[in-house]
Amino acid sequence: MADRKLHFETLQIHGGYHVDASQSRGIAIHPTAAYHFPTCEYAANLFTLSEAGYIYTRLHNPTTAAYEERIAALYGGVGALATASGMSAILLTVTALANAGQNIVASPYLYGGTHNQFVISLRNVGIECRLAASDSAEDMKALIDENTRALFVESMGNPTCRVADIEALAEVAHSHNIPLIVDNTFGAGGYLCNPFEWGADIITDSATKWINGHGTAMGGVIVDGGKFDWGCGKFPAIDGPSEGYHGLNLYEAFGKQAFIVKCRVDGMRDFGCCPSPFDAYLMMLGLETLSLRVKHEVESTYKLAEYCRNHPKVERVSFVGFDDHPSHKLAQKYFRHGASAVLTIELKGTLESTIKFVESLRLSGNMTMIGDSISVVTHPASTTHKQLSDEAKRAAGITPTLLRISLGLENVEDIIADYEQALEAI
Ligand SMILES: Cc1ncc(COP(=O)(O)O)c(C=O)c1O
Protein backbone atom coordinates (compact mmCIF):
# COMPACT_ATOMS: atom_id res chain seq x y z
CA MET A 1 0.00 0.00 0.00
CA ALA A 2 2.82 2.35 0.95
CA ASP A 3 4.26 2.62 -2.56
CA ARG A 4 0.91 2.49 -4.38
CA LYS A 5 0.00 5.83 -5.95
CA LEU A 6 -3.37 6.94 -4.61
CA HIS A 7 -6.07 8.38 -6.85
CA PHE A 8 -7.12 12.03 -6.71
CA GLU A 9 -10.48 11.12 -5.12
CA THR A 10 -8.69 9.33 -2.29
CA LEU A 11 -6.06 12.02 -1.76
CA GLN A 12 -8.70 14.75 -1.54
CA ILE A 13 -9.91 13.04 1.66
CA HIS A 14 -6.78 11.41 3.09
CA GLY A 15 -4.08 13.91 2.01
CA GLY A 16 -2.88 15.89 5.05
CA TYR A 17 -5.26 14.00 7.37
CA HIS A 18 -3.55 12.52 10.41
CA VAL A 19 -5.52 11.22 13.37
CA ASP A 20 -4.22 13.12 16.40
CA ALA A 21 -4.15 12.24 20.10
CA SER A 22 -7.85 13.14 20.43
CA GLN A 23 -8.74 10.47 17.83
CA SER A 24 -11.08 13.01 16.18
CA ARG A 25 -12.39 12.37 12.70
CA GLY A 26 -12.68 16.13 12.17
CA ILE A 27 -9.67 18.29 11.47
CA ALA A 28 -8.77 20.51 14.41
CA ILE A 29 -8.93 24.27 13.94
CA HIS A 30 -6.07 25.97 15.80
CA PRO A 31 -7.17 29.57 16.33
CA THR A 32 -3.85 30.75 17.68
CA ALA A 33 -1.42 33.46 16.70
CA ALA A 34 1.61 32.17 18.60
CA TYR A 35 3.14 28.96 20.02
CA HIS A 36 4.97 28.23 23.27
CA PHE A 37 8.72 27.67 23.00
CA PRO A 38 9.74 25.06 25.60
CA THR A 39 13.27 26.53 25.69
CA CYS A 40 15.01 29.61 24.30
CA GLU A 41 17.47 27.37 22.47
CA TYR A 42 14.57 25.69 20.68
CA ALA A 43 13.18 29.12 19.74
CA ALA A 44 16.57 30.23 18.42
CA ASN A 45 16.77 27.08 16.27
CA LEU A 46 13.34 27.79 14.79
CA PHE A 47 14.35 31.34 13.93
CA THR A 48 17.52 30.22 12.12
CA LEU A 49 15.52 27.52 10.29
CA SER A 50 17.80 24.82 11.68
CA GLU A 51 14.83 23.07 13.32
CA ALA A 52 11.23 22.75 12.10
CA GLY A 53 8.37 23.89 14.33
CA TYR A 54 5.70 26.50 14.81
CA ILE A 55 6.68 30.11 15.52
CA TYR A 56 3.75 32.32 14.58
CA THR A 57 0.60 31.77 12.48
CA ARG A 58 1.63 34.29 9.86
CA LEU A 59 4.30 31.72 8.89
CA HIS A 60 2.50 28.47 9.61
CA ASN A 61 -0.27 26.89 11.64
CA PRO A 62 -1.18 23.21 12.22
CA THR A 63 -4.59 23.50 10.50
CA THR A 64 -3.08 25.36 7.57
CA ALA A 65 -0.22 22.86 7.40
CA ALA A 66 -2.69 19.97 7.01
CA TYR A 67 -4.42 21.86 4.21
CA GLU A 68 -1.09 22.62 2.51
CA GLU A 69 -0.11 18.96 2.74
CA ARG A 70 -3.39 17.96 1.09
CA ILE A 71 -2.89 20.46 -1.73
CA ALA A 72 0.70 19.30 -2.32
CA ALA A 73 -0.52 15.67 -2.39
CA LEU A 74 -3.26 16.46 -4.93
CA TYR A 75 -0.84 18.24 -7.24
CA GLY A 76 2.08 15.87 -6.62
CA GLY A 77 4.25 18.83 -5.56
CA VAL A 78 7.05 18.90 -2.97
CA GLY A 79 5.29 21.55 -0.89
CA ALA A 80 2.55 24.15 -0.82
CA LEU A 81 1.97 27.51 0.82
CA ALA A 82 -1.56 28.71 1.59
CA THR A 83 -2.20 32.42 1.18
CA ALA A 84 -5.08 34.77 1.93
CA SER A 85 -6.23 34.98 -1.70
CA GLY A 86 -5.36 33.94 -5.23
CA MET A 87 -3.95 37.42 -5.84
CA SER A 88 -1.52 37.13 -2.94
CA ALA A 89 -0.39 33.70 -4.16
CA ILE A 90 0.60 35.32 -7.46
CA LEU A 91 2.24 38.28 -5.72
CA LEU A 92 4.39 36.07 -3.47
CA THR A 93 5.37 33.86 -6.39
CA VAL A 94 6.44 36.65 -8.73
CA THR A 95 8.27 38.67 -6.05
CA ALA A 96 10.17 35.54 -4.95
CA LEU A 97 11.60 35.30 -8.46
CA ALA A 98 11.99 38.80 -9.87
CA ASN A 99 13.54 41.91 -8.32
CA ALA A 100 13.21 45.54 -9.40
CA GLY A 101 14.90 45.87 -12.78
CA GLN A 102 13.98 42.33 -13.79
CA ASN A 103 10.93 41.11 -15.68
CA ILE A 104 8.51 38.26 -16.22
CA VAL A 105 6.80 37.42 -19.50
CA ALA A 106 3.07 36.74 -19.25
CA SER A 107 0.23 35.58 -21.46
CA PRO A 108 -2.23 38.33 -22.44
CA TYR A 109 -5.17 36.05 -21.52
CA LEU A 110 -5.30 36.85 -17.84
CA TYR A 111 -7.86 37.39 -15.11
CA GLY A 112 -8.41 41.18 -14.84
CA GLY A 113 -7.02 41.38 -11.29
CA THR A 114 -3.82 39.63 -12.34
CA HIS A 115 -3.53 41.93 -15.35
CA ASN A 116 -3.72 44.98 -13.06
CA GLN A 117 -1.27 43.51 -10.52
CA PHE A 118 1.19 42.90 -13.34
CA VAL A 119 0.93 46.03 -15.47
CA ILE A 120 0.30 48.59 -12.71
CA SER A 121 1.22 47.50 -9.17
CA LEU A 122 4.33 45.44 -9.94
CA ARG A 123 5.47 47.90 -12.58
CA ASN A 124 5.22 50.63 -9.91
CA VAL A 125 7.70 48.75 -7.74
CA GLY A 126 10.08 48.15 -10.65
CA ILE A 127 9.16 44.62 -11.76
CA GLU A 128 8.23 44.71 -15.42
CA CYS A 129 5.54 42.32 -16.63
CA ARG A 130 5.73 41.93 -20.37
CA LEU A 131 2.45 40.84 -21.90
CA ALA A 132 3.02 38.76 -25.04
CA ALA A 133 0.98 39.21 -28.21
CA SER A 134 -0.54 35.77 -27.53
CA ASP A 135 0.21 32.82 -25.26
CA SER A 136 1.96 30.88 -28.04
CA ALA A 137 5.46 29.61 -27.34
CA GLU A 138 6.85 31.83 -30.14
CA ASP A 139 5.18 35.02 -28.87
CA MET A 140 6.20 34.41 -25.27
CA LYS A 141 9.76 33.47 -26.26
CA ALA A 142 10.13 36.67 -28.29
CA LEU A 143 9.93 38.79 -25.11
CA ILE A 144 12.48 36.87 -23.01
CA ASP A 145 15.80 38.61 -22.34
CA GLU A 146 18.65 38.16 -19.82
CA ASN A 147 16.57 39.87 -17.10
CA THR A 148 13.52 37.61 -17.49
CA ARG A 149 12.93 35.48 -14.43
CA ALA A 150 9.73 33.54 -15.24
CA LEU A 151 6.97 32.82 -17.74
CA PHE A 152 3.40 33.15 -16.44
CA VAL A 153 0.18 31.78 -17.94
CA GLU A 154 -3.26 30.69 -16.81
CA SER A 155 -3.88 27.03 -17.68
CA MET A 156 -7.31 28.18 -18.89
CA GLY A 157 -7.72 31.94 -19.18
CA ASN A 158 -10.46 33.76 -17.29
CA PRO A 159 -12.88 34.55 -18.92
CA THR A 160 -11.84 33.51 -22.45
CA CYS A 161 -11.24 29.83 -21.53
CA ARG A 162 -8.17 29.94 -23.80
CA VAL A 163 -5.95 27.00 -22.94
CA ALA A 164 -2.19 27.50 -22.73
CA ASP A 165 0.13 25.02 -24.44
CA ILE A 166 1.85 24.20 -21.16
CA GLU A 167 4.25 21.60 -22.54
CA ALA A 168 5.59 23.90 -25.26
CA LEU A 169 5.88 26.84 -22.84
CA ALA A 170 7.74 24.72 -20.28
CA GLU A 171 10.25 23.83 -22.96
CA VAL A 172 10.79 27.50 -23.83
CA ALA A 173 11.13 28.46 -20.16
CA HIS A 174 13.61 25.69 -19.37
CA SER A 175 15.75 26.44 -22.40
CA HIS A 176 16.21 29.93 -20.85
CA ASN A 177 16.77 28.58 -17.29
CA ILE A 178 13.61 30.16 -15.96
CA PRO A 179 10.54 28.52 -14.37
CA LEU A 180 7.06 28.30 -15.86
CA ILE A 181 4.37 29.52 -13.45
CA VAL A 182 0.83 28.35 -14.20
CA ASP A 183 -2.23 29.89 -12.54
CA ASN A 184 -4.36 26.76 -12.45
CA THR A 185 -7.54 28.20 -10.98
CA PHE A 186 -9.64 26.80 -13.85
CA GLY A 187 -7.86 23.45 -13.42
CA ALA A 188 -9.91 23.03 -10.21
CA GLY A 189 -7.26 22.10 -7.68
CA GLY A 190 -5.64 19.71 -10.15
CA TYR A 191 -8.74 17.61 -10.83
CA LEU A 192 -9.31 18.95 -14.34
CA CYS A 193 -5.71 19.89 -15.13
CA ASN A 194 -2.39 19.29 -13.39
CA PRO A 195 0.27 21.52 -15.02
CA PHE A 196 3.11 19.62 -13.26
CA GLU A 197 2.34 16.65 -15.52
CA TRP A 198 3.26 18.86 -18.48
CA GLY A 199 6.47 20.44 -17.20
CA ALA A 200 5.24 23.49 -15.22
CA ASP A 201 7.44 24.35 -12.25
CA ILE A 202 5.16 26.40 -9.98
CA ILE A 203 1.38 26.42 -9.69
CA THR A 204 -0.80 29.12 -8.20
CA ASP A 205 -4.51 28.53 -7.66
CA SER A 206 -7.29 30.80 -6.39
CA ALA A 207 -8.66 28.47 -3.72
CA THR A 208 -11.61 30.85 -3.39
CA LYS A 209 -13.06 29.04 -6.41
CA TRP A 210 -13.28 25.25 -6.84
CA ILE A 211 -11.03 24.28 -3.91
CA ASN A 212 -13.36 25.94 -1.43
CA GLY A 213 -16.32 25.25 -3.67
CA HIS A 214 -19.01 26.89 -1.55
CA GLY A 215 -18.15 30.57 -1.74
CA THR A 216 -17.40 30.68 1.99
CA ALA A 217 -13.81 31.95 2.11
CA MET A 218 -11.04 33.67 0.20
CA GLY A 219 -7.76 31.85 -0.34
CA GLY A 220 -4.89 31.02 -2.64
CA VAL A 221 -2.16 28.42 -2.82
CA ILE A 222 1.33 28.21 -4.27
CA VAL A 223 2.56 24.72 -5.10
CA ASP A 224 6.18 23.85 -5.83
CA GLY A 225 6.79 21.06 -8.34
CA GLY A 226 10.33 20.60 -6.95
CA LYS A 227 11.96 19.98 -10.32
CA PHE A 228 13.38 23.39 -11.30
CA ASP A 229 17.16 23.76 -11.10
CA TRP A 230 17.59 26.77 -8.79
CA GLY A 231 21.34 26.30 -9.08
CA CYS A 232 21.28 27.60 -12.68
CA GLY A 233 22.81 30.93 -11.61
CA LYS A 234 19.82 33.18 -12.19
CA PHE A 235 18.36 33.03 -8.67
CA PRO A 236 20.99 34.12 -6.11
CA ALA A 237 18.24 34.80 -3.54
CA ILE A 238 17.50 31.03 -3.58
CA ASP A 239 20.94 29.62 -4.40
CA GLY A 240 23.15 32.15 -2.65
CA PRO A 241 23.47 33.86 0.73
CA SER A 242 20.00 34.84 1.97
CA GLU A 243 19.81 38.42 3.24
CA GLY A 244 16.89 37.59 5.51
CA TYR A 245 18.48 34.44 7.01
CA HIS A 246 22.05 35.21 8.07
CA GLY A 247 23.52 34.20 4.74
CA LEU A 248 21.79 30.78 4.69
CA ASN A 249 21.66 29.26 1.21
CA LEU A 250 18.04 28.03 0.87
CA TYR A 251 18.85 25.71 -2.04
CA GLU A 252 21.64 24.01 -0.09
CA ALA A 253 19.54 23.82 3.07
CA PHE A 254 16.19 22.77 1.57
CA GLY A 255 17.04 21.30 -1.86
CA LYS A 256 13.91 20.57 -3.93
CA GLN A 257 11.75 22.57 -1.51
CA ALA A 258 13.90 25.72 -1.69
CA PHE A 259 11.36 27.78 -3.64
CA ILE A 260 8.34 27.09 -1.45
CA VAL A 261 10.47 27.64 1.67
CA LYS A 262 11.54 31.00 0.28
CA CYS A 263 7.90 31.97 -0.39
CA ARG A 264 7.10 31.18 3.25
CA VAL A 265 10.11 32.47 5.14
CA ASP A 266 10.68 35.61 3.07
CA GLY A 267 7.46 36.37 1.18
CA MET A 268 4.89 35.41 3.79
CA ARG A 269 7.00 36.75 6.64
CA ASP A 270 7.42 40.13 4.93
CA PHE A 271 4.08 40.60 3.12
CA GLY A 272 1.93 38.82 5.72
CA CYS A 273 -0.92 37.62 3.53
CA CYS A 274 -1.68 34.46 5.53
CA PRO A 275 -5.05 32.69 5.65
CA SER A 276 -6.92 32.30 8.92
CA PRO A 277 -6.88 28.74 10.34
CA PHE A 278 -10.67 28.71 10.07
CA ASP A 279 -10.48 29.47 6.35
CA ALA A 280 -7.83 26.74 5.95
CA TYR A 281 -10.33 24.38 7.60
CA LEU A 282 -13.08 25.44 5.18
CA MET A 283 -10.74 24.81 2.24
CA MET A 284 -9.86 21.39 3.55
CA LEU A 285 -13.51 20.53 3.98
CA GLY A 286 -14.24 21.80 0.46
CA LEU A 287 -11.47 19.63 -0.96
CA GLU A 288 -13.11 16.44 0.34
CA THR A 289 -15.80 16.71 -2.35
CA LEU A 290 -13.85 18.50 -5.08
CA SER A 291 -13.96 15.78 -7.75
CA LEU A 292 -17.66 15.06 -7.15
CA ARG A 293 -18.60 18.72 -7.40
CA VAL A 294 -16.55 19.39 -10.51
CA LYS A 295 -17.88 16.28 -12.27
CA HIS A 296 -21.46 17.38 -11.64
CA GLU A 297 -20.75 20.98 -12.68
CA VAL A 298 -19.03 19.96 -15.92
CA GLU A 299 -21.91 17.62 -16.85
CA SER A 300 -24.40 20.42 -16.21
CA THR A 301 -22.30 22.84 -18.26
CA TYR A 302 -22.51 20.58 -21.32
CA LYS A 303 -26.31 20.40 -20.94
CA LEU A 304 -26.79 24.13 -20.48
CA ALA A 305 -24.36 24.91 -23.33
CA GLU A 306 -26.33 22.58 -25.62
CA TYR A 307 -29.62 24.17 -24.56
CA CYS A 308 -28.29 27.68 -25.17
CA ARG A 309 -26.80 26.70 -28.54
CA ASN A 310 -30.26 25.74 -29.76
CA HIS A 311 -32.16 28.71 -28.35
CA PRO A 312 -33.30 31.35 -30.88
CA LYS A 313 -32.58 34.23 -28.49
CA VAL A 314 -28.94 33.19 -28.02
CA GLU A 315 -26.52 34.61 -30.58
CA ARG A 316 -23.42 32.63 -29.64
CA VAL A 317 -22.18 30.05 -27.17
CA SER A 318 -18.48 29.82 -26.36
CA PHE A 319 -17.70 26.59 -24.55
CA VAL A 320 -14.34 24.87 -24.61
CA GLY A 321 -16.09 21.49 -24.61
CA PHE A 322 -17.45 22.21 -28.11
CA ASP A 323 -15.21 21.66 -31.11
CA ASP A 324 -15.79 25.19 -32.47
CA HIS A 325 -13.95 26.74 -29.50
CA PRO A 326 -10.41 27.87 -30.47
CA SER A 327 -8.92 25.96 -27.51
CA HIS A 328 -10.95 22.77 -27.87
CA LYS A 329 -7.95 20.67 -29.00
CA LEU A 330 -5.63 21.98 -26.29
CA ALA A 331 -8.38 21.46 -23.71
CA GLN A 332 -8.64 17.83 -24.80
CA LYS A 333 -4.91 17.46 -24.25
CA TYR A 334 -4.52 19.28 -20.91
CA PHE A 335 -7.95 19.12 -19.25
CA ARG A 336 -9.54 15.89 -18.08
CA HIS A 337 -13.11 15.01 -17.20
CA GLY A 338 -14.78 17.26 -19.78
CA ALA A 339 -12.63 20.39 -19.45
CA SER A 340 -14.60 23.17 -17.82
CA ALA A 341 -17.59 24.26 -15.77
CA VAL A 342 -17.54 27.76 -17.27
CA LEU A 343 -19.02 28.99 -20.52
CA THR A 344 -19.94 32.32 -22.05
CA ILE A 345 -23.03 33.14 -24.05
CA GLU A 346 -23.99 36.18 -26.04
CA LEU A 347 -27.68 37.00 -26.20
CA LYS A 348 -29.46 38.52 -29.16
CA GLY A 349 -30.76 41.94 -28.21
CA THR A 350 -29.40 44.89 -26.30
CA LEU A 351 -27.64 45.81 -23.08
CA GLU A 352 -31.05 46.49 -21.51
CA SER A 353 -32.56 43.14 -22.51
CA THR A 354 -29.45 41.33 -21.25
CA ILE A 355 -29.73 43.05 -17.89
CA LYS A 356 -33.42 42.12 -17.79
CA PHE A 357 -32.46 38.49 -18.47
CA VAL A 358 -29.91 38.47 -15.63
CA GLU A 359 -32.34 40.08 -13.22
CA SER A 360 -35.09 37.60 -14.21
CA LEU A 361 -33.02 34.55 -13.22
CA ARG A 362 -34.14 33.12 -9.90
CA LEU A 363 -31.67 30.27 -9.37
CA SER A 364 -28.39 31.84 -10.55
CA GLY A 365 -26.60 34.43 -8.47
CA ASN A 366 -25.69 37.67 -10.25
CA MET A 367 -22.13 37.77 -8.90
CA THR A 368 -18.48 37.83 -9.89
CA MET A 369 -17.68 34.28 -8.88
CA ILE A 370 -16.86 30.89 -10.39
CA GLY A 371 -16.57 27.39 -8.92
CA ASP A 372 -19.30 27.95 -6.32
CA SER A 373 -22.01 25.44 -5.37
CA ILE A 374 -24.57 28.03 -6.46
CA SER A 375 -24.79 28.73 -10.20
CA VAL A 376 -23.52 32.16 -11.12
CA VAL A 377 -24.08 34.49 -14.02
CA THR A 378 -21.77 37.48 -14.48
CA HIS A 379 -22.39 40.39 -16.82
CA PRO A 380 -18.81 41.53 -17.60
CA ALA A 381 -19.84 44.77 -19.36
CA SER A 382 -21.43 46.14 -16.19
CA THR A 383 -19.04 44.55 -13.66
CA THR A 384 -15.57 43.09 -14.19
CA HIS A 385 -14.85 45.01 -17.40
CA LYS A 386 -16.91 48.15 -16.77
CA GLN A 387 -13.82 50.35 -16.32
CA LEU A 388 -12.50 49.47 -19.80
CA SER A 389 -12.98 51.84 -22.73
CA ASP A 390 -15.41 50.70 -25.44
CA GLU A 391 -12.44 49.93 -27.67
CA ALA A 392 -10.68 47.88 -24.97
CA LYS A 393 -13.94 46.02 -24.28
CA ARG A 394 -14.25 45.17 -27.96
CA ALA A 395 -10.61 43.94 -28.05
CA ALA A 396 -11.30 41.70 -25.05
CA GLY A 397 -14.48 40.39 -26.71
CA ILE A 398 -16.71 41.95 -24.05
CA THR A 399 -19.94 42.90 -25.78
CA PRO A 400 -22.99 44.42 -24.01
CA THR A 401 -24.87 41.11 -24.30
CA LEU A 402 -22.08 38.78 -23.18
CA LEU A 403 -22.58 36.68 -20.02
CA ARG A 404 -20.11 34.44 -18.19
CA ILE A 405 -21.76 31.43 -16.58
CA SER A 406 -20.37 29.12 -13.90
CA LEU A 407 -22.58 26.12 -13.16
CA GLY A 408 -23.17 25.06 -9.57
CA LEU A 409 -24.53 21.94 -7.94
CA GLU A 410 -28.26 22.42 -8.57
CA ASN A 411 -30.18 19.96 -10.77
CA VAL A 412 -29.46 21.25 -14.27
CA GLU A 413 -33.09 20.74 -15.35
CA ASP A 414 -34.09 23.40 -12.83
CA ILE A 415 -31.34 25.69 -14.09
CA ILE A 416 -32.47 25.23 -17.70
CA ALA A 417 -36.13 25.86 -16.77
CA ASP A 418 -35.01 29.04 -15.03
CA TYR A 419 -33.09 30.15 -18.16
CA GLU A 420 -36.20 29.36 -20.21
CA GLN A 421 -38.43 31.66 -18.16
CA ALA A 422 -35.79 34.42 -18.13
CA LEU A 423 -35.32 34.17 -21.90
CA GLU A 424 -39.11 34.33 -22.35
CA ALA A 425 -39.09 37.52 -20.28
CA ILE A 426 -36.92 39.38 -22.83
C1 LIG B 1 -7.63 32.83 -12.89
C2 LIG B 1 -7.67 33.62 -11.61
N3 LIG B 1 -6.54 33.87 -10.96
C4 LIG B 1 -6.53 34.56 -9.80
C5 LIG B 1 -7.70 35.06 -9.27
C6 LIG B 1 -7.65 35.84 -7.99
O7 LIG B 1 -8.06 35.05 -6.95
P8 LIG B 1 -8.71 35.66 -5.61
O9 LIG B 1 -10.01 36.29 -6.00
O10 LIG B 1 -8.83 34.47 -4.72
O11 LIG B 1 -7.74 36.65 -5.07
C12 LIG B 1 -8.91 34.83 -9.93
C13 LIG B 1 -10.17 35.37 -9.40
O14 LIG B 1 -11.21 35.26 -10.00
C15 LIG B 1 -8.90 34.09 -11.13
O16 LIG B 1 -10.02 33.84 -11.81
107: helix, coil or strand? Answer: coil
What was the pLDDT predicted at 388? 72
Cα–Cα distance measured from residue 141 to residue 220, given in angstroms and rounded to the nearest whole number: 28
8-287 and 292-424 share one fold: no
Please check whether residue 33 is in contact with residue 238, taking contact to mean a CB–CB distance below 8 angstroms.
no
Compare 363 and 389 and report the one with higher pLDDT: 363
Q: Which of 83, 85, 87, 211 to mutate to test the pocket of ligand 1 (most atoms within 8 A of CB)?
A: 87
What was the pLDDT predicted at 45? 94
* Atom 15, ligand 1: residue with shortest CA distance: 111
How many angstroms separate the alpha carbon of residue 252 from the centre of ligand 1? 33
Class of domain 8-287: alpha beta
Q: Is residue 223 pLDDT above 60, yes or no?
A: yes
Q: Which of 186, 208, 342, 376 to mutate to test the pocket of ligand 1 (most atoms within 8 A of CB)?
A: 208
Give per-residue pLDDT as tens, 98-156.
999 999 999 999 988 899 999 999 999 999 999 999 999 999 999 999 999 999 999 99
pLDDT averaged over the chain?
96
Cα–Cα distance measured from residue 69 to residue 53, given in angstroms and rounded to the nearest whole number: 15
How many angstroms separate the alpha carbon of residue 385 from the centre of ligand 1? 15
What was the pLDDT predicted at 2? 58
136: helix, coil or strand? Answer: coil
What was the pLDDT predicted at 393? 74
Q: Which of 163, 193, 206 to mutate to test the pocket of ligand 1 (most atoms within 8 A of CB)?
A: 206
Q: Is residue 1 pLDDT above 60, yes or no?
A: no
Order of strands across the sheet with 342-347?
A: 314-318, 342-347, 402-406, 376-378, 365-366
Q: What is the mean pLDDT of residues 338-346?
A: 95
How many angstroms separate the alpha carbon of residue 144 from the centre of ligand 1? 25
Residue percentage of the chain with pLDDT more than 70 = 99
Is CATH 3.90.1150.10 what the domain over 292-424 is classified as, yes or no? yes
Q: Is residue 353 pLDDT above 80, yes or no?
A: yes
Q: Is residue 23 pLDDT above 90, yes or no?
A: yes
Cα–Cα distance measured from residue 327 to residue 332, given in angstroms and rounded to the nearest whole number: 9
List the domain boundaries for the chain.
Answer: 8-287, 292-424
Q: What is the pTM of this model?
A: 0.97
Q: Is residue 394 pLDDT above 80, yes or no?
A: no
User: Which atom of ligand 1 is the closest one to the Cα of 368?
Assistant: 14
Query: Please, what is the angle between helix 351-360 and helix 412-424, to 10°?
Result: 140
How many angstroms separate the alpha carbon of residue 112 from the centre of ligand 1? 9
How, if at all, do strands 79-83 and 220-224 pair?
A: antiparallel
How, if at all, do strands 342-347 and 128-131 pair?
A: unpaired
Q: Is residue 305 pLDDT above 90, yes or no?
A: yes
- AA identity, residue 241: P
Least confident among 169-178, 335-344, 389-398: 389-398
How many angstroms separate the alpha carbon of residue 48 from the centre of ligand 1? 34
Q: Transcribe 312-366 into DSSP letters.
A: TTEEEEE-TTSTTSTTHHHHHHH--TTS-SEEEEEESS-HHHHHHHHHH-SSSEE
Q: Residues lining ligand 1, CB < 6 A?
A: 85-87, 111, 113-114, 154, 158, 183, 185, 206, 208, 218, 220
How many angstroms separate the alpha carbon of residue 335 from the centre of ligand 1? 19
56: number of CA atoms within 13 Å, CB side? 11
* Atom 6, ligand 1: residue with shortest CA distance: 86
Which burial class, exposed, middle or buried, applies to 149 when counting CB atoms under 10 A from its CB (0-12, 13-18, 19+)? Answer: buried
User: Which atom of ligand 1 is the closest one to the Cα of 218?
Assistant: 10
φ, ψ dihedrals at 86, nearest 5°: -65, -35
What was the pLDDT predicted at 244? 86
User: Which atom of ligand 1 is the closest one to the Cα of 88?
Assistant: 11
Q: What is the mean pLDDT of residues 56-78?
A: 98
User: Which atom of ligand 1 is the closest one to the Cα of 220?
Assistant: 10
Which burial class, exposed, middle or buried, applies to 24 when counting CB atoms under 10 A from its CB (0-12, 13-18, 19+)? Answer: exposed
CA distances, 163 to each of 76, 198, 233, 322, 361 (Å)? 21, 13, 31, 13, 30
Q: What are the residues whose beta carbons fall under 8 Å from the beta carbon of 183, sequence distance 6 or more? A: 86, 90, 110, 111, 114, 152, 153, 154, 155, 203, 204, 205, 206
* Atom 9, ligand 1: residue with shortest CA distance: 86
How many angstroms separate the alpha carbon of residue 320 from the centre of ligand 1? 19
Compare 384 and 269 and report the one with higher pLDDT: 269
How many angstroms separate the alpha carbon of residue 205 from the centre of ligand 1? 8
User: Which atom of ligand 1 is the closest one to the Cα of 186?
Assistant: 1
Cα–Cα distance measured from residue 354 to residue 348, given in angstroms and rounded to the nearest whole number: 8
To 5 degrees, how large is the angle CA 311–CA 314–CA 318? 110
